[in-house]
C-alpha cells in the first residue's frame, strides 16, 4: 500500500474507533454487547459532529406481541425526531436475558431499555406490589387513568433512586389461567395444579390461597416447563397465551382476569444522564406516543385472539358472576395480608382513587 493510502486508511480506522467510543450505548452493531462501563470517559467529539447514541431495548415476549409493536412505534419516532442521533435496536424473546437480569443490566449501564411487568419490579420497590393485588382494577381504562395520574407517576419517580428511569406504563393486560390437566371453573378445580407464577410474593400467596401449587420462574423458561410437564399451567393475558403458542402445550383457558398487569418502560439512569436534554425529551415523547398505540393494539389483539385460542383447540371458559366471586372471595385474605406489607395508608389511597375513577 502506498504511504498516502496507508495514512487515509489509518485515519479512517481511528475515526471509526472515535465515533464508537462517543456513543452513550456504544454498540453500533446489532450484537447485544455490553456498553462502555459508566466510569469510562467518552472520547472527545470531533468538532462539528453531534454525539450519537444507541438504545438497546430488550423484552421477554416475542416479536408478534403488542409489546414489541410498541417498541417498533417508539423506534420509528425516536430515530426520526432525533434526526438519526439515536438508534434503537430491538431484542425480543429474552435475547438479552430475563426481566430481572435486564433490570440489573440497566442499573449497571450495560443495557439501555427494558419493559417488564410490574411484578418483578417489586424486588426494587415493594409499593409496586399494589398492582399484584387480585381483582384490583375494574376496567383497563380505570387502570390507565390511575397509572397515568399522580399515583402512578410517584412510583415511576421513585425508581430513579434505584438507577432506573420509569418512562411510562404500557399494558400487559388482564391475566388468565391456562393448564393442561382439566377445565377450571372454581377454586376447588385448582387443587394441586402446578402453576408457574412471576417471581413475586403476592402471586405466590394468592395461588396458594386457591389451592394450587405455585412455582416462580422467569418468563423465558415457561414454555419448556409446560412442554416437559414441570408445571401444569401458567397465567398470562390473552395476547401472550395466543402469540407465544401456548395452545400447543395447554388445553384449557379460564378467563379469570385475576390481575391487571401493567408493563413499565424502563431506561438506564446511567444512560439517561448522558443524553442531552433535547434527546431526553424525544425519548420521553416517544415513550408516551408508543404507550398509547401499544395499549390500543393490546386491547384489539385481546379481543381478536380469544377466538384463535378456540380455533387452536383450547377449551376457553368464561366464568359466571357467581363463579368469579368464588375466586375473589378465596383471594381476599391475600389482599389483607399484603396491605400492611405495602403500607396500609398507601393501599387505601390507591383503593380510594380507583373508586373515584370508576365513578363510584
Q: Contact positions toward ligand KDG, by CB under 6 A?
A: 59-61, 67, 99, 115-117, 172, 198, 219, 236, 261
Q: Which residue's C-beta sits nearest to ligand KDG?
A: 60
165 vs 275, which CB is nearer to ligand KDG?
165
Cβ proximity to ligand KDG, 195 vs 282, nearer residue: 195
Least Å from the CB of residue 94 to ligand KDG: 7
Q: Which is nearer to ligand KDG, 99 or 145 (CB)?
A: 99
Beta carbon of residue 112, minimum distance to ligand KDG (angstroms, whole number): 15
Of 82 and 118, CB closest to ligand KDG? 118
3-state secondary structure the chain: CCHHHHHHHHHHHHHHHHHHHHCCCCCCCCCCCCCCCCCCCCCCCCCCCCCCEEEEEECCCCCCCHHHHHHHHHHHHHHHHCCCCEEEEEECCCCCCCHHHHHHHHHHCCCCEECCECHHHHHCCHHHHHHHCCCCCCCHHHHHHHHHCHHHHHHHHHHHHHCEEEEEEEEEEEEEEEECCCCCCCHHHHCCCEEEECCCHHHHHHHHHCCCEEEECCHHHHHHHHHCCCCCEEEECHHHHHHCCHHHCCCEEEEEEEEEEEEEEEEEHHHHHHCCHHHHHHHHHHHHHHHHHHHHHHHHHHHHHHHHHHHCCCEEEECCHHHHHHHHHHHHHHHHHHHHHHCHHHHHHHHHHHHHHCCC
Query: Is 67 or 82 the residue whose CB approaches ligand KDG more closely?
Result: 67
Nearest residue to 243 (alpha-carbon basis) of 62, 59, 60, 58? 62
Q: Which is nearer to ligand KDG, 111 or 172 (CB)?
A: 172
Bridge partners of residue 260, in order along the sequence: 174
Q: Closer CB to ligand KDG, residue 23 or residue 294?
A: 294
* Grid cell digits, residue 89: 435496536
Q: Cβ of residue 317: shortest distance to ligand KDG, in angstroms?
A: 20
Smallest separation (angstroms) from ligand KDG to the CB of 36: 26
Pick the closer one to ligand KDG by CB: 59 or 78. Answer: 59
Whole-number minimum distance, CB 37 to ligand KDG, in Å?
26
- Smallest separation, CB 156 to ligand KDG (Å): 17
Give the shortest CB-69-to-ligand KDG separation in angstroms: 12
Grid cell 421477554 is found at 60
Min separation Cβ 152 and ligand KDG, Å: 18
Amino acid at each position: 500500500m502506498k504511504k498516502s493510502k496507508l495514512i487515509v486508511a489509518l485515519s479512517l480506522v481511528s475515526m471509526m474507533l472515535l465515533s464508537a467510543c462517543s456513543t452513550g450505548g456504544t454498540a453500533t452493531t446489532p450484537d447485544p454487547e455490553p456498553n462502555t462501563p459508566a466510569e469510562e470517559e467518552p472520547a472527545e467529539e470531533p468538532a462539528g459532529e453531534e454525539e450519537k447514541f444507541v438504545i438497546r431495548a430488550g423484552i421477554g415476549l416475542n416479536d408478534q406481541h403488542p409489546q414489541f409493536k410498541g417498541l417498533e412505534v417508539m423506534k420509528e419516532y425516536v430515530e426520526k425526531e432525533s434526526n438519526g442521533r439515536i438508534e434503537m435496536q430491538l431484542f425480543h424473546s429474552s435475547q438479552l436475558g430475563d426481566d430481572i437480569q435486564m433490570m440489573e443490566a440497566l442499573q449497571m449501564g450495560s443495557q439501555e431499555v427494558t419493559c417488564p411487568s410490574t411484578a418483578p419490579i417489586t424486588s426494587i420497590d415493594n409499593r409496586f406490589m399494589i398492582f399484584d393485588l387480585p381483582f384490583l382494577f375494574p376496567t383497563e381504562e380505570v387502570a390507565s387513568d390511575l397509572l397515568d395520574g399522580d399515583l402512578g407517576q410517584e412510583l415511576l419517580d421513585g425508581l430513579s433512586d434505584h438507577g432506573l428511569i420509569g418512562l411510562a406504563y404500557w399494558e400487559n393486560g388482564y391475566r388468565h389461567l391456562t393448564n393442561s390437566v382439566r377445565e377450571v371453573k372454581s377454586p376447588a378445580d385448582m387443587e394441586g395444579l402446578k402453576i408457574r407464577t412471576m417471581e413475586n410474593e403476592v402471586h405466590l400467596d394468592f395461588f396458594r390461597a386457591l389451592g394450587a401449587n405455585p412455582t416462580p420462574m422467569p418468563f423465558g423458561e415457561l414454555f419448556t416447563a409446560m412442554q416437559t410437564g414441570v408445571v401444569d399451567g401458567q397465567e398470562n393475558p390473552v395476547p401472550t397465551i395466543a402469540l407465544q403458542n401456548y395452545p400447543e402445550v395447554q388445553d384449557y383457558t379460564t378467563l379469570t382476569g385475576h390481575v391487571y398487569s401493567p408493563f413499565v418502560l424502563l431506561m438506564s439512569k446511567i444512560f439517561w444522564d448522558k443524553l442531552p436534554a433535547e434527546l431526553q425529551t424525544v425519548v420521553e415523547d416517544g415513550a408516551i406516543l408508543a404507550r398509547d398505540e401499544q395499549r390500543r393494539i393490546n386491547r384489539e389483539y385481546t379481543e381478536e385472539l380469544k377466538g384463535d385460542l378456540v380455533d387452536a383447540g383450547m377449551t376457553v371458559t368464561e366464568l359466571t358472576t357467581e363463579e368469579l366471586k368464588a375466586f375473589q372471595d378465596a383471594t381476599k385474605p391475600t389482599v389483607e395480608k399484603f396491605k400492611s406489607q405495602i403500607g396500609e395508608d398507601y393501599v387505601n389511597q390507591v383503593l380510594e382513587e380507583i373508586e373515584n375513577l370508576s365513578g363510584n
